[in-house]
Chains A and B, each alone.
Chain A
Amino acid sequence: MNENLFTSFITPMILGLPLVTLIVLFPSLLFPTSNRLVSNRFVTLQQWMLQLVSKQMMSIHNSKGQTWTLMLMSLILFIGSTNLLGLLPHSFTPTTQLSMNLGMAIPLWAGAVITGFRNKTKASLAHFLPQGTPTPLIPMLVIIETISLFIQPMALAVRLTANITAGHLLIHLIGGATLALMSISTTTALITFTILILLTILEFAVAMIQAYVFTLLVSLYLHDNT
C-alpha cells in the first residue's frame, strides 16, 4: 500500500480532482449546531468544552481583543480536530502541509501586528526594545527584536508542521520496525509494540497541545497589540 514514508503526506487527489478540499472541510461536520436548550450529549459536551476554552483563553484580553474570540475559537477547533482525525489509520492530515500552516499563521500574525501599529503606534514600536537595557546595547537589541518579530509567523507555521509530521513519521517507522521484528523475534516486537502504544498516546496529546499552543501564541501577539 504505502511504498515509502512520504506517501502519507502527498496531497490526496482522486481522478485528478483535489480531494483535499473535502478533507479540509470535513471536520466542520463534526461540530453540529443546535438551536435547542437541551441537546444531545455530543452537542452538550462540545458546547461545554467551547465555553471552557473560550473563557480560559479570552479572559486576558480587553474588549478590543475579545472581538477576535470567534476567530481564535474556530482556529483551535480546526487545528485540534484535523490533528486528531489525522491519527486515524490511512487518513490525511492537512496540517502536515507547510503551505497550509503558513496560510494560517501569516495572516493572523500580520493582522495582530498591523492592528497594533495602527492603533497604538508608540506602544507597538516600544516592543522592539525591552525595558532596562544598557544604552550601548540598544542598536543591536533593536535589530534582534526586529528579527524575532518577523520570525514569529515562520515559527508558528513550522512548529505546527514539524510536530505533526514528525509524530506521523515516528508512528510509521516504529510500526515498520514492529513488522520487521515480528518475523525475527516476537518478544522484541512486543516491546516495540508497547513503544508504539505509548507513542500513540503521546500523539493524541501532541495533537491537542499543538492546537492550543498555536492559538495561545496568536492570542499573545494580539494581547501585545491591543
Chain B
Amino acid sequence: AAAAAPSLKNAALLRPGVLQATRIFHTGQPNLAPVPPLPEHGGKVRFGLLPEEFFQFLYPKTGVTGPYVLGTGLILRLLSKEIYAITPETFSVISTIGFLVYIVKKHGASVGEFADKLNEQKIAQLEEVKQASIKQIQDAIDMEKSQQALVQKRHYLFDVQRNNIAMALEVTYREQLHRVYREVKNRLDYHISVQNYDASEGTRAHDKLGGEACGAEHLCTAGEGNSRQVHCRSKAARKEGSSSASYVNTSIPIKTARNS
C-alpha cells in the first residue's frame, strides 16, 4: 500500500507516510460501517429505576400489588434494622433527589424536543444542499434538452434561407430578363422607326438623288440592308427570349449575301 501511494506524499521534507505507515489509505472494509441503527426508545421503567419486565415477571404469582408490597417491605426492613440510618444526610438526599425529580418531570420533554430539533436542523441543512444540487443538475438537463430540440428545428431556418436566396436569384434573373427585353425592344423600335422613315421618305430621297455616289448607294444599301436588317430584327424582336446573339446571327448572313 505504501508503494502505491501518490507522489504528493513524497513532497514534504518528512514524508507523512513515515510516521503513520499503517494508516495511509482505507484499505479493506472498515469494520465501523455499516453502523447498526440505534433503538428509538429505551426500555420501559417504573419510578425511573425498576424495569417493567420485573413487574411482568411477578404478575402471574402476585398480581399487580406484588412488587409494591415487596418494595415497601424492603424499605421498612432497611429503616427498622438501621441498615439505612436516618442522618442529616437523609434530608439532603430528600431535598436533592426531590429537586432533581421535579426538574426532570417539568422540563424533561422540552429538553428532549430541543435535542430532536438540533438533529433535525443538522439533517435539514444537508438535505437542502442535496436538493439544491439536484435542482441545479435538473435545470442543466432541461436546458440541454431544449437546446437539442432547437437544434432539431434548425432545418426550418435553413429552408427559409434557401427559399430567400432562390427568390432573390429569381427576382434578379427576371429583372435582367426584363432589362434585356426593354433594351432589345428599344433598339428594334428605333430600327422600325428608321425603317418607317425610310419607307416613307428614304425612297423619295433615293429617286431624287438618282442613285449617286457611294453615299447614296451606301444609303441605299444601308437603307435596304437596314430595312432588311430591321425587318429581320423586328422578326427577331417578336421572338421573346431571343437575345442579341440571334440578332447578330441573322443580320450577318444577309449583309454578306447582299454584299456578295
Contact = CB atoms under 8 A, between A and B. Distances in A.
Given A41-B116, A48-B118, A2 B89 contact: yes
A87 B96 contact: yes
A73 B152 CA distance: 66
B116 A2 contact: no
Nearest to B112: A41
Given A41-B116, A175-B90, A197 B123 contact: no
User: Chain A binding site: helix, strand, loop or mixed by DSSP?
Assistant: helix
A51 to B, nearest CB: 10
Interface string A162-196: 00000000011111111100000000000001001
B22 to A, nearest CB: 20
Interface stretch (B80-88, B210-218, B230-238): B80-88
Nearest to A47: B118
B99 interface: yes
Contacts of B118: 44-45, 48
A112 to B, nearest CB: 30
B32 A35 contact: yes
B7 interface: no
B158 interface: no
A103 to B, nearest CB: 28
A87 B99 CA distance: 11
B93 interface: yes
Contact of A89 (B97, B99, B116, B122): B97
Which of B32, B87, B93, B112 has the most CB atoms of chain A within a 10 A radius of its CB?
B87
A88 interface: yes
B6 interface: no
B115 A41 contact: yes
B48 interface: no
Nearest to A199: B95
A2 B38 contact: no
Which of B35, B88, B115 has the most CB atoms of chain A within a 10 A radius of its CB?
B88
A36 B35 contact: yes
Contacts of A41: 111-112, 115-116
A179 B86 contact: yes
Contacts of A204: 99
Interface in B90-142: 90-99, 111-112, 114-116, 118-119, 122-123, 126
A85 to B, nearest CB: 11
Contact of B88 (A40, A42, A176, A201): A176
Interface of A: 1-2, 35-42, 44-45, 48, 87-90, 171-179, 193, 196-197, 199-201, 204
Interface of B: 32, 35, 38, 85-99, 111-112, 114-116, 118-119, 122-123, 126
Given A36-B35, A45-B111, 13 more contacts: A1-B85, A39-B119, A41-B116, A48-B118, A89-B93, A90-B89, A171-B92, A175-B88, A175-B91, A179-B86, A196-B91, A197-B98, A200-B92
